Chain A
C-alpha cells in the first residue's frame, strides 16, 4: 500500500510539469503584452519595465526562473495589482472559493449518492423515473442559466435570499451560489450512483448477503456501498475540475471575491502572471485531488493494490 502510494505520487510529477509548461507557453504565445496600452510608451520605458520583470530574457530561462520560484511557492509579481504578488492575491481570495466548492461537493455527494441509491432500489418505479428525470434536467441546464434564474426567483421575486455577495453577511449569501455549483454535480453523481448500484445489487455476493438474512439496509451499508462508490470516486477528479470551472462563472455572477473572479479580472487586464498563477494553482489542486482519489480507490478495492 505504501509502495502503491509512493508510485502514484511519483507518477503525478510529470503530469504537473507538463501542465505548467503548457500553461506557460500558452500565456506567452498570446498576442500583445501586459504593458501594451492605447498610449504608446517610450521605448526606453518599455525596455525598463521588461527588464524589471525579466521579460527580456529568452523563454527557456524565464520558464526555469518560474519553476524555481514555484518550488518556494512564489508565483511571481502581479503585473496589474502593483505591489502584490500572485501568491498573495490567490491566498486572500481562495478561502472564499474553497468554502463554496467544498460545500458544493459535500452537498452533491450527499444528495447525489442518496438519490441515486434510492432510485436504484426503486428501479423502474415512479420514484426512480422522477429522480432520474430531475437529474437529467440538472445536467442539461448550464450554470450561466441556472444562476440568473435562481436569483430572479429567490432574490428578486421572493426576496428570501440575497442576490449578491457584497453588503451581505451570514449563511444566506452562500445558498444560491452553492446550489448553482452543486446542481449539475448532484445530477451527475445521482446517475452514476444509480447505474453502479444497480450493477452491484445484481452481483452474486449481494445475493449471498441477502441469503444470509442481512436485510436491505445492511446489505447496502455493509456489502454494496463500497463497490458502488468506485465509479463515483473516479468521478471526483473531474467533479472538482467541474466545480472550479463553474466557480469562474458563479463568482462573476454573484460578485464573490474568489479565485474565479481573480482569474477573469486577470484575463481582462492581461495580467499574465496572475492568469498563469491561477492555472498552475488549480492544476496542482486537480492533480493532487486525483492522486487522493487513486489512493482511496486502492483502499476500497484491495485487488488494485497489487497492480
Chain B
C-alpha cells in the first residue's frame, strides 16, 4: 500500500475542471516531483490532499493517505493528519508566515495543537527544530518576527514548521521560487538532508529541480496527467508531446548554443556609476558602487546577480529614473544627464524599458491599441490616425499577436500575451536600446521561449541593443552576448557569454553557475556551492565584498578591495581568480 494514493482526482470550479482525473502515488520515503506550468493544477492537487481547497471547489475521486480516505473527511480527521502526518511548505515564506507573531510562537503552536509538547518542553523542541534547519542563532530567531529575517531564513523556518511534528509526507509547493539561486541550492540541499525517511512531494515548474531531487516525476498539463514515471526515464524518453515541449523550452546553463560575440561600435557607456539610497533608519546604503560598462550596437548585455546586487538600480540610474550619486552616461557620443523628465525627448525615445510584471505595467483601463499607440501620440505628433494604426498593427504582428488583440483589455490577456504587448509598446518608437528588467521572469517556460524569440528577431532586424537584467543564468546564457556579474552593488566580472559560462574567473560567478539546477537527471546535482547570504549594503564587508562567502579568500581579500582587471578579454575583480 502506498503512503499516498490519489486516483481519478478532479477539481472543478463552477463546472470548470482545473484538475481532471489525475492519478498519483507516493511510496514511503521516496521523492516525487509534480511538474507543470502555471494553471496545470499542481498546487490545486496539493491543496486537495490537505483538504485546504475553498468550499466552492467541487472535488471528486479518491485521496487515500496511509489507507485512510482523506477526500470528504471532516476537519477533525484532517487536523490530525495535517502537520502530524503530512507537512506542508508553501512558496512565499513572507506571506506564508504570520507577520504579527514571533517565529517561536508560530512553531510552538504546531506542537501544542497536536498535544506533542507544552511549556518549556515545546520551546526546547522549537529551538531544536530551528537548529536542525541550520538557522543561525536559533535562540534569537525564536523571538524574531518574520520581517526581521531574510527570505532564505524564512524558508528555513517554514521547513522547520513543516517537519517539527515528524510527518511521514512533506509536500513542498514551489519552495524555492521566491529565492535567489544560491539560496535555492542551500534550501534544496537542506530538504534532502533533513527529511530522513519523510516522503517528499515536490511541486515545481523547474525541471532542473526535479532532475536533481526527485526519484519519480509526474507531468501535468491543464489539469491532466500527461507523463509519469521514474525521473530518468521520463527525461530520457518523454512519452507526451507536452513533456518534450517543456524539456525543449528549458534552457540549460551547462550546454547548448550561445550567441556569437557582436562587433559593433559602442552605443552607450556608463562610467563609474554609483547609486545611493537611505534606508528607513536614515543610514546610507551603497546600492551601486563604481560600475562601468558599455553596450555595443546590436548587442545584448546581460546584468546578473542575486536580489540586492544593484542590477536594477544600475539600469534605472542609467535611464534617469533614480538619481546617480556619481558617474556619467554617454549615449552616441553625447552625455545623458539628469532625471529622465529633463532629458531631450529624442533621447528618451531611444531608450525604452520593459518590466517584470506585465499585468501591473499595463493600464487596465486602456485597450491594447491605445497602450501601444500612446508613445506615438507623444513622440510623433505629426502622423495621422490611419498611419498610427498601421504602425500599431505592424508592431503587434512583429511580437506574434493578431490584429484581433487591438481591442482587448490587459485582463483579457495571458501573462505571455501581456508581456508581448508591453514589448510592442516599448518597440513601437523604434528605440535603439531596450532595457528588459526581469522581463521573462514571471513567464512559463514555453511562453518565455516565445518572448525571447521575439526579442532575438527584433534585434536581428533592427540592430537593437538590449540590456537584459535577469537572475536566471540559463536564460541569460541563451540570449546574451556579454554578461556583467554584480554582487552587493559591485561589478565582479564582465565577460563574453562563452567565456563566462565555460570558464568563469570569479569564484562568485562559478558559484552562481553551479547553483543553477540542470534539467538532466544524469548530471549529478552539485552540493550547495555557497554558504550564507548576500551582505548588508549599509555595512558591507571590508576588502572584497564577497570574501566572507568565498572558498578561496584569505587575509588579503579581507583587507584589500580588488580592482577590476583584464585577464584574457575578461574583466574580473578578484585577488585569486580561477584558472581558465
Contacts and interface: CB of A to CB of B under 8 A. Distances in A.
B97 A222 contact: no
Interface string A205-237: 101111111111010001100110000000000
A203 interface: yes
Interface string B140-178: 000001010000000000100100010000000000000
A215 B161 CA distance: 16
A17 interface: no
A44 interface: no
Interface string A158-175: 000000000000000000
B80 interface: yes
A40 B281 CA distance: 66
B52 to A, nearest CB: 6
A271 to B, nearest CB: 49
Give the bracket for the number of chain B residues in contact with chain A: 20 to 34
A204 interface: yes
B554 interface: no
A209 B98 contact: yes
A212 B96 contact: no
A98 interface: no
Interface string A15-51: 0000000000000000000000000000000000000
Contacts of B113: 212-215, 218
Interface string A291-307: 00000000011110011
Most chain A beta carbons < 10 A, residue from B50, B92, B165: B50
A302 B109 contact: no
Interface stretch (B82-90, B322-330, B416-424): B82-90
Given A215-B75, A216-B75, A307-B280, A207 B52 contact: yes
Contacts of B83: 211-213
Contacts of B95: 203-205
Contacts, number: 81
Nearest to B281: A306
A143 to B, nearest CB: 35
B280 A222 contact: no
A294 to B, nearest CB: 17
Given A207-B90, A208-B90, A218-B109, A213 B81 contact: yes
Given A205-B95, A302-B147, A210 B100 contact: no
B79 interface: yes
A231 to B, nearest CB: 14
A219 to B, nearest CB: 9
Interface in B395-454: none
A29 to B, nearest CB: 44
A213 B165 CA distance: 11
Contacts of A204: 90, 92, 95-96
A211 B98 CA distance: 13
Contact of B96 (A208, A302, A307): A208
Contact of B97 (A205, A210, A216, A227): A205
A213 B86 CA distance: 10
A215 B96 contact: no
B101 A210 contact: no
A233 to B, nearest CB: 12
B110 interface: yes
A52 to B, nearest CB: 55
B50 A223 contact: no
B97 A213 contact: no
Contact of A301 (B82, B97, B100): B100
Interface residues of A, number: 24
Interface in B64-120: 75, 78-84, 88, 90, 92, 95-101, 105, 109-110, 113-114
B101 A213 contact: no
B99 A303 contact: yes
Contacts of A205: 95-99
A211 B75 contact: no
Contacts of B97: 205, 208
Most chain B beta carbons < 10 A, residue from A300, A302, A306, A307: A302
A222 to B, nearest CB: 5
Most chain A beta carbons < 10 A, residue from B109, B114, B165: B109
B234 to A, nearest CB: 29
Contacts of A300: 100
B81 to A, nearest CB: 7
B160 to A, nearest CB: 12
Given A208-B90, A210-B82, A227 B100 contact: yes
B280 A306 contact: yes
A214 B79 CA distance: 7
Nearest to A218: B113
Contacts of B98: 205, 208-209, 223, 227
Given A218-B109, A223-B98, A307-B280, A213 B92 contact: no
A302 B100 contact: yes
Nearest to B50: A211
Interface string B242-266: 0000000000000000000000000
Interface string B501-527: 000000000000000000000000000
Contacts of A303: 99, 145, 147
B90 A212 contact: no
B79 A211 contact: no
Interface in A187-212: 203-205, 207-212
A7 B204 CA distance: 47
Contacts of A213: 78-84, 110, 113-114
A214 B75 CA distance: 10
B43 to A, nearest CB: 11
Given A204-B95, A204-B96, A212 B280 contact: no
Contacts of A226: 100-101
Given A300-B100, A306-B281, 17 more contacts: A203-B95, A204-B92, A204-B95, A205-B96, A211-B50, A212-B82, A212-B83, A213-B80, A213-B82, A213-B114, A216-B75, A223-B98, A226-B101, A302-B145, A302-B147, A303-B145, A303-B147
The 10 closest A-B pairs by CB, nearest first: A213-B82, A204-B95, A213-B79, A205-B98, A211-B88, A212-B83, A302-B145, A213-B83, A208-B96, A204-B96
